[in-house]
Amino acid sequence: MTGTDSYLQSLLVTNPLQEPVMRRVVRALDLPPGSRGLDVGCGIGLQVMLLAGAVGPAGHVTGIDLSPEFLTYARSIAEKAGISGQVSFQEGDMNNLPFDDDAFDWVWSANCAGYAPGEPLPLLKELARVVKPGGSVIILVWSSQQLLPGYPVLEAHLNATSSGIAPFAEGAAPELHFSRMMGWFRRAGMEEVTVRTFAGDVCAPLSDEIRSALTALIEMRWVDVRAELSEGDWAEYQRLCMPESPDFILNLPDYYAFFTYSMFRGSFPGA
């Protein structure tokens, strides 16, 4: 399995965990029926489907991504859902969008824009360029999780690794952390900048689907952490986070976990 195939599979497996939260986020946006929007970094199109449902049959959502493999899959699920006429997909780079100025009523990006390292202002200005006066830019980011109930110290150590703090990097300026995104929006010329956090949670007994999603999430969340953990923490990580371990944390009869997404939104002055 290639890296792209593996990541695509991870997106599918973890979706049952995230989709209920995504649905609440999209409902909270209250997107205008019939509006035209852009999903930047659309991946395999899972959020494009939700956004298309929100704007209705008179609206349209365009998804853009760098991966042709993801876009092929996105087109297939749109066709199966019977909404190919409401959505379209295009290969492209979010830093140089292949669209005219003022092309969309709103721009959305989940788990993509805001994560890239480096100076965020040029990216925010590029997203703003394609939004009509009176429109908005919405960026959704994974902002926290508690997946190891009863082991807060181990989880804190895992979250302090390079993988755990990504996309932030040790030594980066504090204002480049995504939690400071309200300032990015204002510097890009947006007004009415808001942020809202949405939580998802699960508890035992876990369905097979949710168990698989959590297993994949734990694997995705803390990657290549061994070199940054003490021997004791590494042993505990293997004991609690490896599915083959008899002490795998998901086997707890009182297992409970939560995670959060933070939604940043900025609007532009009307025409």
CATH number, domain with residue 193: 3.40.50.150
Kindly tell me the burial class for residue 113, based on how many C-beta atoms sit within 10 Å of its own C-beta (0-12, 13-18, 19 or more).
Answer: buried
Residue 113's pLDDT band, with cuts at 50, 70 and 90, is confident
Q: What was the pLDDT predicted at 132?
A: 96
Enclosing domain of residue 120: 3-267
pLDDT at 128 over 90: yes
Label residue 210 by pLDDT band (50, 70, 90).
very high
Higher pLDDT, 255 or 174: 255
Domains of the chain: total: 1
Average pLDDT over residues 144-160: 97
Whether 54 shows a pLDDT value over 90: the answer reads: yes
Which pLDDT score, from 0 to 100, does residue 186 have?
A: 94
* Amino acid 3: pLDDT: 60
List the 36-40 sheet strands across, edge first: 87-91, 60-65, 36-40, 104-110, 131-146, 256-267, 191-203
pTM of the model: 0.93
Q: Can you give the pLDDT at residue 2?
A: 59
Look at residue 114 in the predicted model and tell me its pLDDT. Answer: 66
Say which DSSP state 89 is in: E
